[in-house]
């Protein structure tokens, strides 16, 4: 494999595990002699593995390790194990992490607590409340993200979070905690009145709330093609001066018309690709893939574009739509990364698993062993996990928060909750 940025190479290797989710049975063994990279990868992979319950005690034991990176990895593994199997033992272990001496470990355990309790109506949110007001902004951010998982589709805390965000001074906390505002009505076909109030807030200072309302409308009315929602989002696309609001309006439009976009909707998204703002162009490009996910139909060809912001969104869209890539080599590292992530949405890809980045190869080997041996065979569940993992993985592992992957994460969380609630 030619030498790539480690971030791109990590995404390339991870795409194999996501693409081949649940197709193999690979044993994961903890020898006690692993390198740090190998052990960390195994700990995360164990959370996905079909034997995840058998690994639970080992994961909990590693949360006591002296190395904070190993503790972090153990908590990530527990978080994903809880995503598949609600467990009071896992929840108690994650709660202990709230008091870890290392800030990053605390952050991960709090977010992981939310992730482990998606669609768990028995789990109360009170355990997170004190951390919404923590002096550390990363902890306030983490508790907001935890709510976005734990209370997805539960609007009981909507007004509370709007008030918190109006008082919050840290833009980073707002970026993270806002996801509950968008996820609060996910999949309910409700909330149009609450989101309409946020859309009516004027000025750049309130653009943040209009932004989240656009996403929230799409998630609440996911796949319904609701005409009232479409009209609200189209108005923001045409008339809102703030690029982040227009970007999220495209995302909301794609979510509302998920897998059933009309030609009118696709035409509007195509016009977004030539918006003056690169933020909007990128969002409009990615929206094509959200709207056409799994349909094996995407009319746009990457060879017709040179703008990296557009190429990034479109290469992801080709993977989401599950069409063959029209282009596979890119000069821009950001676009290369997007292309590698896109392969994780395709089924059963084959790649060279050797890497010049030895630590990346060793780390990802254990994670992929868990992904491919997850026992997940249901197509809808595979889609949900493939959407959830990239955004949360990059934040928990690299402290790297990417807006587009978190939009996909919110979609995956909604699909996962829908499937769980219908079981």
Over residues 166-178, mean pLDDT: 89
In a domain, residue 371? The reply is yes
pLDDT for the residue 119: 73
In a domain, residue 72? The reply is yes
Residue 258 tokens read as: 């998920």
pLDDT for the residue 386: 98
Residue at which a domain ends, from 314, 347, 380: 347
Q: Domain range holding 307?
A: 190-347
Which CATH number covers residue 245? 1.25.10.10
Positive or negative: CA dihedral 332, 333, 334, 336:
positive
Cβ atoms within 10 Å of 326's Cβ, excluding its own: 14
pLDDT for the residue 86: 87
Name the residue among 218, 219, 303 with its Cα closest to residue 269: 218
- For residue 421, is pLDDT > 70? no
Q: What is the pLDDT of residues 242-283, one digit of tens each?
A: 999 999 999 999 999 999 999 999 999 999 999 999 999 999
Task: Say whether both 315 and 399 belong to one domain.
Answer: no
Task: Say whether both 158 and 13 belong to one domain.
Answer: yes
Mean pLDDT computed over every residue of the chain: 95
| Helices H / strands E in the chain, number of each | 21, 0
- For residue 2, is pLDDT > 60? no
Task: Say whether both 257 and 305 belong to one domain.
Answer: yes
Name the residue among 161, 95, 93 with its Cα closest to residue 132: 161
- For residue 53, is pLDDT > 60? yes
Poorest-confidence range of 4-13, 69-78, 114-123?
Answer: 114-123
- For residue 422, is pLDDT > 70? no
pLDDT band at 288 (very low <50, low <70, confident <90, very high): very high
Greater model confidence, 206 or 323 = 323
In a domain, residue 268? The reply is yes
Task: Say whether both 164 and 236 belong to one domain.
Answer: no
For the chain, the farthest-separated pair of C-alpha atoms sits apart, in whole angstroms, at 60
- Report CA-CA distances (Å) from 263 to 224, 228, 258, 373: 16, 18, 13, 40
To the nearest whole percent, how much of the chain has pLDDT over 90?
87
State the Cα–Cα distance between residues 56 and 320, nearest whole angstrom.
32
Task: Say whether both 317 and 239 belong to one domain.
Answer: yes
Residue 274 buriedness (CB in 10 A; 0-12 / 13-18 / 19+) = exposed
- For residue 1, is pLDDT > 70? no
């Amino acid at each position: 494999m030619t030498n790539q940025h480690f971030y791109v190479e990590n995404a390339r290797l991870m795409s194999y595990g996501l693409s081949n989710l649940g197709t193999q049975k690979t044993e994961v063994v903890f020898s006690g002699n692993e390198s740090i990279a190998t052990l960390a990868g195994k700990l995360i992979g164990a959370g996905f593995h079909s034997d995840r319950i058998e690994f639970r005690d080992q994961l909990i034991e590693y949360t006591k390790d002296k190395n904070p990176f190993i503790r972090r990895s153990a908590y990530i593994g527990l978080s994903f194990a809880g995503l598949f199997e609600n467990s009071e033992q896992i929840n108690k272990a994650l709660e202990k992490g709230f008091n870890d001496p290392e800030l990053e470990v605390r952050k991960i355990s709090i977010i992981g607590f939310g992730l482990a309790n998606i669609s768990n109506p028995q789990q109360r949110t009170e355990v997170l409340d004190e951390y919404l007001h923590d002096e550390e902004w990363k902890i306030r951010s983490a508790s907001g993200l935890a709510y976005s998982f734990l209370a997805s589709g539960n609007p009981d805390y909507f007004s509370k979070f709007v008030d918190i965000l109006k008082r919050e001074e840290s833009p980073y906390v707002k970026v993270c905690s806002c996801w509950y505002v968008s996820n609060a009505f996910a999949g309910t076909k409700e909330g149009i009145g609450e989101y309409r109030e946020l859309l009516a807030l004027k000025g750049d200072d309130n653009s943040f709330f209009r932004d989240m309302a656009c996403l929230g409308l799409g998630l609440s009315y996911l796949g319904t093609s609701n005409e009232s929602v479409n009209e609200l989002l189209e108005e923001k696309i045409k008339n809102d001066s703030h690029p982040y609001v227009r970007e999220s309006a495209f995302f909301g439009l794609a979510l509302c018309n998920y897998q059933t976009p009309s030609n009118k909707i696709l035409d509007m998204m195509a016009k977004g690709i030539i918006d003056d703002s690169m933020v909007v162009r990128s969002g409009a490009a990615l929206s094509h893939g959200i709207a056409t996910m799994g349909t094996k139909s995407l009319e746009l060809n990457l060879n017709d574009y040179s703008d990296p912001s557009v190429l990034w969104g479109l290469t992801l869209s080709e993977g989401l739509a599950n069409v063959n890539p029209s282009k596979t080599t890119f000069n821009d590292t950001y676009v290369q990364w997007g292309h590698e992530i896109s392969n994780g949405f395709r089924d059963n890809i084959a790649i060279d698993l050797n890497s010049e980045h030895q630590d990346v190869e060793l780390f990802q080997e254990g994670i992929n062993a868990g992904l491919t041996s997850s026992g997940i065979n249901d197509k809808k569940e595979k889609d949900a996990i493939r959407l959830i993992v990239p955004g949360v993985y990059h934040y928990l592992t690299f402290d790297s928060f990417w807006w587009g992957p978190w939009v996909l994460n919110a979609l995956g969380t909604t699909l996962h909750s829908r499937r769980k609630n219908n079981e």
